[in-house]
Structure 1
């Protein structure tokens, strides 16, 4: 997709086959929050209409996985229009947050569908961070009540911040509640959010306090055991559950799963990696039909959305190759058009 929205052939610079490297700072300046949301919506729709061929995430637990949850992750796929294919390879080190560095580090490799050439290497952490929040915003726009004004965010890391930015772009948020395990850090995070968004912002000392009365709840933690429980869920809420991405981790308990209507980004990924869903299924609390379906199908009009103001809706996000590829292709085009990035010979 061209930066202006049209479809066309990839820009070529004569016989220049050098690799274009696009770093984090360049990526962060190319797309606005609203543009990220639009790109990710295209990817979700593409998965639903068969434009995308992709596989589930491949994860290699590293030797210290049991103690630290560290993994090497790879996702790959191909897109028919705009024509491209590629892969994202990243390390996930959850404990990096405590050291003040990114938890997701790696790159998206973008290939040319015409001749198979590797055209670009783009900062994987920046793409992951932006598209994850954008996907939640797409789902929130499709599933939450239009009058949702109170947002609760569990966690105070990068995804918490990005989710507030993205959700505020699709709903008229007037109040934000923040919770994290460290009350001092949660309070500092709340102060930063208040200064940036000019909305009422509070640091809550408990999860129950944060989510009580909230219209939208985003769980953005690396919790292995549930932090949000079914008895805390209120009629009409919308949940974005995004922090856990392996079968043995879950941020919400089985009761919260049972009381929610669940949409996902990519069902095949859900069936192997969504701990909340898989553990509720294993316990016999739900059947496979408890999943409503992929959010892209709802966006395309072939699947229902929210049925009434009382329904509890949930978007379980795991990320998928299509999101990375649609974003990388758009960023590559924009970098070429603006003369950004660094060319290196292979």
Structure 2
């Protein structure tokens, strides 16, 4: 059994190949039930959570184990710890154990740029990223690899974190800078990866032709946009089952009466299969809302394993 760490994974999952692997998985499909969620009481810290995300095809099975432990901050550790097990689909023989954090960061960002290929204007050159964590860093890299980005602004509630990420991105040759506010005006693509529970983006402030990528709100109580933004946008979700059950932006907008479930124009499978054309007008506002699909993890793990000696 191969053990594939974070650094090796980065080399095995280049953005173009990873995006293509995700497109095939969305197009061809796999078995992937909604994630299993279990509470983990902590004696002297906030309650944690154990997430199990299985997926399988005839050729492979995989499962991601994710621990979310908010109390890890006081221990000097990341709150999210994850590992992925890839096995042979016919025999169940374990093939590889992969770093779950790096796998998640990269497949999440590649799913966003895959959606952006259908939904963002091809000439998009001004990027705003809300958030300064690991996923935000991956998103900035992936968007700059996919589109002709000339300006990549990074905003976070902690300005020092935004500046630190911008410096790291500049060190890798990306046109990054810290942003003073989350104001989306003047940007072609706005990509959000925060843990916000109140809207950072409002429909009235998003300009015509903008593509909005909502990644962070993966639980019903969280949200990064208001209902007005979703109401005026062509809304695409990664999967309808996950988007309508777990995506806080969507769930809360429906509860408020801003939209109905039928407002979801398509999911990623429909985009990849050509059942929905994606962006149709230059001035159209588009939104992609992802909560994460276990099929993405499986596609990324299979791609990484195939590239190992």
| Alpha-carbon shift at residue 69 of structure 1 (Å) | 7.2
Aligned CA distance change for structure 1 residues 105 and 262 (closer, same or farther; 3 Å): same
Partner residue of 1:333 out of 277, 290, 306:
306
CA contact (8 A) 2:223 2:248 kept: yes
**Which whole-Å deviations, capped at 9, do the CAs of 1:256-280 have from their partners, x for residues lacking one?**
2212211111111112101110111
Per-residue Cα deviation, 1:216-272 (whole angstroms, up to 9, x for no partner): 000011112222222221111001100111111111111222122111111111121
Query: For 1:295-334, what aligned pairs fall within 5 Å after superposition?
Result: 295-334=268-307
Decide which structure has the larger Cα Rg and report it.
1
- How do 1:136-151 and structure 2 match up within 5 A? 136-151=112-127
Aligned counterpart, 1:241: 214
Counterpart in the other structure of 1:152: 128
Task: Report the aligned-residue RMSD.
Answer: 2.0
**Counterpart selection for 1:275 from 248, 265, 269:** 248
CA shift for structure 1 position 100: 6.2
Counterparts of 1:132 and 1:243, CA distance in 2: 10
Equivalents in 1 of 2:70, 2:190: separation in Å? 22
Q: How many angstroms apart in 1 are the aligned matches of 2:126 and 2:146?
A: 13
The gaps in structure 1 that reach 5 residues or longer are: 1-18, 339-346
TM superposition shift of 1:68: 5.1
Aligned length: 307
Within 1, Cα distance between the matches of 2:52 and 2:301? 15
Match runs of 1:45-124 below 5 Å: 45-47=27-29, 52-63=30-41, 70-80=48-58, 83-93=59-69, 101-124=77-100
Residue 127 of structure 1, CA deviation: 0.6
Q: 2:181 aligns with which of 186, 206, 220?
A: 206
Q: Is the 8 A contact 1:102 1:125 kept in 2?
A: no
Aligned-partner Cα distance in 2 for 1:189–1:228? 21
1:35-86, Cα deviation, whole Å (9 max, x unpaired): 2222222222223xxxx1110111223336xx95742111112124xx1112
Higher relative contact order (CA 8 A, sep 6+): 1
- Identify the residue that residue 12 of structure 2 maps to in structure 1: 30
For normalisation by structure 1, the TM-score amounts to 0.83
Give me the whole-angstrom Cα distance separating, in 2, the residues matched to 1:23 and 1:33.
Answer: 18
Aligned 8 A contact 1:94 1:222 in 2:
no
Within 1, Cα distance between the matches of 2:26 and 2:12?
Answer: 21
| Contact 2:13–2:300 under 8 Å retained in 1 | no
Q: Label 1:165 to 1:203 Cα distance change in 2 as closer, same or farther (>3 A).
A: same
- The separation in 1 between residues aligned to 2:118 and 2:31, in whole angstroms, is 24
Q: Does the aligned pair in 1 maintain the 2:35–2:51 contact within 8 Å?
A: yes
Gaps of 5+ in 2: none
Moved over 6 A (4+): 97-100
CA contact (8 A) 1:153 1:178 kept: yes
- Find the aligned partners of 1:92 and 1:135 in 2 and give their Cα distance: 22
Partner of 1:341: none
TM-score, L = length of structure 2: 0.93
Describe the shift of the 1:97–1:245 C-alpha distance in structure 2 as closer, same or farther (beyond 3 A).
farther
